[in-house]
């Protein structure tokens, strides 16, 4: 259906990956993982035909429909939500538009009845009568039923736009689905539905994701762009859990091989040094005045043999395939300042809800139920500074540099800001980069860096796992487990919720018959 042949690509002169080969057939379920900025989205765009690779090619089988669902919608086209969704019906969308145009002409008295009949035949063949139900079903499953189809796409939130993209892609039943972080803006119910739907999908799926439940349940092979090596690492035969086990096994094997190799290297180099010393000693003896011709000949032969052995040993060392020293990325550091004074004191209020110092609260609910609104109300009703991690990057994609933004939020000297940013995996080359140039995950790390270094002791986190890679997730989970302050978190990631531990759960329900906010 889709085949990648020897793909290579670079960004700003830095090689992201090379020699990447992949074949997708019906039923394949492939997850793409790796740190932020490693090139995962770039790879998807190349496979979707939106970006040309530096080397290699992408081959799509004749008749194969490929749907690419990016993390975020591009420029606003001025369409309504309904128009945007109906465009996902593929050929049927074209037929529907043609019928509508011909109906207008018929109403104006034009002689287009024959043309209308031909279009209607095609409408019948494509089961056009199902279009409205298919659109409504897709909107319902992805938490968009509350939106009026007449709503302009540009008026929707970033999360709503992301779900709209996914709903449109699923409408056309493509043969190959290329998904970029598909569960980021889904609630727990929507993520569970998508996971189940993908597991039974007859086509091929390739998904960039950090969602461990999705990777474990719906996908059966993992490829990793690790941000260190330019070759893609392949982990067939399992999802997230199998990938982590196999990665740990390979790492341990690599360490053992490298240690054994270094012992061999020391032994070979010592052998070479002994041989060189032998040759030098013999040559010194000859130069010191050995007069017997036969002894001089013997000494020269011994020296020549020693030099030949040295050259042979060096050639053998050069011909060996040496194991590269294992490398890791600089660790991300997160440590939220503790605040255990005044336990039980009310620190934030939203209606009849109270957040007390030391509370660890999990907020659940469907998309559109008001979870984000509740967080905003808590922030507005706080009696002290709070640190808020928003769900999306709306309003942050500006020309402001990383360093300037950090210092605007954390009042420190430039050299201190640089040191703090380095601890959050931002190197000197990125300090002057604009916010709009960062990947979604990099921007997420920047916001976390601001939170960690802010004076606030009340943390309000809205889907904090969105866009973070596994290493960052592990670090964030450990930091929040150790945090001794006030925490309110909205998350659909059940792995994350279980890992950090929360003692209180608030469920938000705005459905008909719902009871609003329940504990």
| Length in residues, the chain | 519
Q: Report the pLDDT value the prediction gives residue 293, as an integer from 0 to 100.
A: 64
Quick one: DSSP state of residue 87? Answer: G
CA 215 to chain centroid, in Å, comes to 12
Do 289 and 163 lie in one domain? The reply is no
Mean pLDDT is highest, among 16-30, 108-122, 286-300, for: 16-30
Q: Is residue 69 included in any domain, yes or no? A: no
Residues near 212 by beta carbon (within 8 Å), at least 6 away in sequence:
240, 493, 495
Which helix (H) or strand (E) segment holds residue 517: the answer is strand 516-518
Q: Report the pLDDT value the prediction gives residue 515, as an integer from 0 to 100.
A: 45
pLDDT tens per residue, range 332-351: 778 887 766 666 788 888 88
Q: Is residue 447 included in any domain, yes or no? A: yes
Q: Report the pLDDT value the prediction gives residue 245, as an integer from 0 to 100.
A: 93
Predicted confidence (pLDDT) at residue 513 exceeds the cutoff of 50 = no
Q: Is 126:93 a contact under the CB 8 Å cutoff?
A: no
Q: Which percentage of the chain shows pLDDT scores above 90?
A: 20
What does the alpha-carbon distance between residue 439 and residue 33 come to, in Å, rounded to a whole number?
14
The dihedral over CA atoms of 295, 301, 303, 309, expressed in degrees to the nearest 10, equals -150
Q: Report the pLDDT value the prediction gives residue 510, as an integer from 0 to 100.
A: 61
The dihedral over CA atoms of 466, 472, 473, 475, expressed in degrees to the nearest 10, equals -140
Do 287 and 196 lie in one domain? The reply is no
What does the alpha-carbon distance between residue 286 and residue 241 come to, in Å, rounded to a whole number?
68
Q: Which of 47-51, 90-94, 139-143, 509-513 has the lowest mean pLDDT?
A: 509-513
What does the alpha-carbon distance between residue 16 and residue 457 come to, in Å, rounded to a whole number?
39
Buried b / exposed e over 134-156, threshold 16 CB at 10 Å, is bbeebbebbbbeebebebebeeb
Do 153 and 6 lie in one domain? The reply is no
Domains contained in the chain, number? 4
Domain boundary among 41, 64, 87: 64
What does the alpha-carbon distance between residue 184 and residue 130 come to, in Å, rounded to a whole number?
29
CATH code of 448's domain: 3.40.50.300
Interstrand relation of 29-33 and 204-208 (parallel, antiparallel or unpaired): parallel
Domain boundary among 153, 169, 200: 200
Enclosing domain of residue 191: 76-200
Backbone CA torsion sign across 395, 399, 400, 403: positive
Predicted confidence (pLDDT) at residue 224 exceeds the cutoff of 90 = yes
Domain boundary among 182, 200, 218: 200
Q: Report the pLDDT value the prediction gives residue 339, as an integer from 0 to 100.
A: 66
Q: What mean pLDDT is reported for the chain?
A: 83
Q: Is residue 443 included in any domain, yes or no? A: yes
Q: Which residue has the tokens 């006030």?
A: 486
What does the alpha-carbon distance between residue 453 and residue 93 come to, in Å, rounded to a whole number?
51
């Amino acid at each position: 259906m889709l085949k990648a042949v020897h793909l290579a690509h670079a960004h700003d002169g830095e090689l992201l990956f090379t020699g990447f080969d992949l074949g997708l057939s019906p039923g394949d379920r492939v997850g793409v993982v790796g740190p932020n900025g490693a090139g995962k989205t770039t790879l998807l765009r190349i496979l979707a035909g939106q970006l040309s690779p530096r080397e290699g090619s992408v081959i799509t089988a004749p008749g194969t429909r490929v749907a690419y669902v990016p993390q975020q919608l591009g420029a606003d086209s001025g369409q309504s939500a309904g128009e945007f969704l109906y465009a996902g019906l593929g050929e049927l969308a074209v037929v529907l538009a043609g019928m509508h145009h011909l109906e207008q002409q018929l109403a104006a008295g034009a002689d287009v009845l024959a043309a209308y009949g031909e279009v209607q035949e095609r409408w019948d063949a494509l089961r056009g009568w199902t279009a409205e139900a298919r659109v409504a079903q897709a909107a319902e499953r992805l938490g968009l039923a509350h939106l009026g189809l007449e709503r302009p796409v540009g008026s929707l939130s970033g999360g709503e736009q992301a779900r709209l993209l996914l709903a449109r892609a699923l409408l056309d039943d493509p043969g190959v689905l290329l998904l970029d972080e598909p569960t980021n803006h889904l609630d727990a119910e929507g993520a569970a539905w998508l996971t189940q739907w993908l597991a039974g999908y007859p086509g091929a799926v390739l998904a960039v994701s950090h969602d461990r439940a999705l990777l474990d349940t719906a996908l059966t092979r993992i490829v990793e762009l690790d941000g260190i090596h330019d070759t893609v690492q392949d982990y067939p035969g399992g999802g997230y859990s199998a990938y982590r086990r196999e990665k740990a096994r390979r790492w341990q094997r690599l360490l053992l091989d490298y240690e054994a190799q270094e012992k061999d290297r020391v032994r070979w180099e010592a052998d070479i040094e002994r041989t060189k010393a032998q040759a030098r000693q013999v040559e010194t003896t000859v130069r010191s005045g050995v007069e017997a011709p036969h002894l001089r000949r013997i000494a020269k032969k011994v020296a020549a043999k020693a030099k030949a052995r040295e050259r042979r040993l060096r050639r053998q060392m050069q011909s060996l395939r040496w194991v590269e020293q294992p490398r890791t990325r600089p660790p991300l550091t997160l440590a939220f300042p503790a605040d255990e004074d005044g336990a039980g004191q009310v620190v934030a209020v939203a209606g009849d809800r109270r957040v007390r110092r030391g509370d660890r609260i999990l907020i659940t609910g469907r998309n559109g139920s008001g979870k984000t609104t509740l967080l905003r109300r808590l922030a507005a009703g706080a009696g002290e500074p709070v640190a808020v991690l928003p769900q999306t990057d709306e309003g942050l994609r500006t020309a402001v540099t990383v360093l300037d933004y950090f210092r605007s939020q954390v009042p420190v000297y430039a050299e201190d800001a640089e040191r703090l940013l380095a601890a959050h995996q931002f190197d000197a080359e990125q300090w002057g980069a604009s916010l709009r140039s960062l990947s979604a995950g990099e921007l997420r790390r920047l916001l976390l860096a601001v939170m960690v270094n802010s004076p606030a002791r009340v943390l309000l986190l809205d889907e904090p796992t969105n866009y973070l890679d596994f290493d960052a997730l592990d670090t964030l989970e450990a930091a929040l487990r150790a945090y001794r302050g006030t925490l309110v978190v909205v998350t659909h990631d059940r792995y994350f919720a279980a890992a950090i531990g929360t003692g209180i759960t608030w469920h938000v329900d705005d459905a008909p018959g719902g009871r609003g906010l329940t504990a």
